[in-house]
Each structure stands twice: as structure tokens, then as C-alpha cells.
Chain A
């Protein structure tokens, strides 16, 4: 069975601090994908990144970076020099390329990030 755990329910930081959002996943499949989505106060889910299970290279996009480690089944997300506009709920998700559930996303419960000015 697929499962995603985001242990941090809420995080508060002050602007310009770095913050890391944790994501731990469970799957028995060898081919799978990991995602991060952002849900700002306006409500829509915004796609941030997708990684496949064969690519463990870290990725950096501006102030965002992602650390994928298969050894610990983790896909953590770091925001450097946080800004007030980063305040949102962040969801980690998993999908498998195998079986009848192809395409289905399994979400964690989300982490509410609040960045104070």
C-alpha cells in the first residue's frame, strides 16, 4: 500500500529564515513518482515538482530545493530565505507507475507554513 506522512502539521518562521518541510513515504513499488504541491490561501493546488524513483539528484529552483533519499524514503523540501508569500499549505504526494492505481495520487496531510514579516 502507498502512504505519505508529513509529520509537521504547522510550522512558523520569521521572514528570511530557512525552513525544511519533511515528507516520508511508503511503497513496495520500484517505479514511482513523488510530488510537492502548494496550496495558498486562495485554495488552488499548485504543482511544484515531480521526481521519479530512479533519479535521486537533488533539485534546486530559485529559493526552493528538494532532497530525495531512497535510503530513508524521504523527499524533503527546503525553502531558503523564506518570504511572507511562501505562507501556504504544502502537500507531498506519491503515485505509482505499477498496477491498477496508475496515476492516482496519495497525499500526506499537509504542512501549514506561516512566514511572519
Chain B
């Protein structure tokens, strides 16, 4: 069984540009989560999808972040325009149910210059 896949693994962009991160969850997992770790700090929740619906988006930092999960399969997280403080590692995770263990991808390391 394929694990959670994230693309790209690294992204370096300039402030003001747009970046889109992609996550492919484990097949059959309805629950998909985005998290972010800013250097030296804890991993923080961004949002939670159940199928294509946003169950909880209270962790999204501001309206420069837009997450979608069309068709309830893969998800994208777009940052537009990117700011310096958006740098960090963005993790995606999926699970069968909301209280089941979440399986994480390798993360996308985002650097804003």
C-alpha cells in the first residue's frame, strides 16, 4: 500500500510569489490533514478535510492560504502571496477515521526568500 505522498519535497520561492503544495493520501482514507512546522517550534495543525469537505480550518494562519480537496482524493494547499514567515515544513497526513492514527507524508520544505 502506497503511503502519503507530498509534492514537491522542496520549494524555494521569492516573497510575493505563489506556491502550491500537493498531497496524495493513502487510498481509502477519507480524513486528510495539513500541518506546518516552523523551525524550532511545534508542529501545528492547519486544517482537516473529511472527503471533500473542510471539517476544521481553524488553524489556517490567514486568507493567503487556500486548501482544496476536489473529489475527495488529493489535496492542494496554495499560498498566495507568500511571505517570509510562511517558511517551514508542511506535512500532510491521512487516516481512515478521525480518531485513527494519522499517517504522514515526508513533508514539503518551503523556503521564502
Query: For the complex, would chain B's binding face be called helix, strand, loop or mixed by DSSP majority?
Result: strand
Q: Are B42 and A97 in contact (CB under 8 A)?
A: no
Q: Are A43 and B107 in contact (CB under 8 A)?
A: yes
**A109 adjacent to B98 (CB under 8 Å):** no
User: Is the CB–CB distance between B99 and A47 below 8 Å?
Assistant: no
Q: Name the A residues within 8 Å of B89 (CB-CB).
A: 43
CA distance A102 to B95 in the complex (A): 12
**Interface size grouping (class) on chain B:** 20 to 34
A-contact 0/1 string along B39-70, CB 8 Å cutoff: 01111110010000001101100000000000
Question: Which of the residues B48, B56, B102, B105 comes within 8 Å of A44, measured between beta carbons?
Answer: B105
Q: Are B106 and A44 in contact (CB under 8 A)?
A: yes
B101 at the interface (CB under 8 A from A): yes
- Contact assessment for B106 and A43 in the assembled complex, using a CB-CB cutoff below 8 Å: yes
Asked if residues B106 and A109 are in contact (CB atoms below 8 Å), the reply is no
Distance in Å from the Cβ of A23 to the closest Cβ of chain B? 12
Q: B93 contacts which chain A residues (CB < 8 A)?
A: 45, 105
Asked, given contacts A44-B106, A97-B99, A103-B98, whether A110 binds B42 with beta carbons under 8 Å apart, the answer is yes
Query: CB within 8 A of A104: which of B48, B91, B104?
Result: B48
B78 at the interface (CB under 8 A from A): no
Q: Are A91 and B107 in contact (CB under 8 A)?
A: no
Report the Cα distance A95→B35, complex, angstroms: 14
Taking CB atoms, residues of chain A closer than 8 Å to B103 are: 47
- Which residues of chain A come closer than 8 Å to B75, judged between CB atoms? none
Contact A107-B56, Cβ < 8 Å, known A44-B105, A95-B99: no
- B33 beta carbon closer than 8 Å to chain A: yes
Establish whether residues B104 and A44, one from each chain, have CB atoms under 8 Å apart when the complex forms.
Answer: yes
Is there an interface contact between A109 and B33, defined as CB atoms closer than 8 Å?
Answer: no
Tell me whether B58 and A101 are in contact (CB under 8 A): yes
Known: A97-B99, A109-B42. A104 touches B106 (CB 8 A): no
Residue positions of B touching A, CB distance < 8 A: 31, 33, 35, 40-45, 48, 55-56, 58-59, 89, 91, 93, 95, 98-99, 101-107
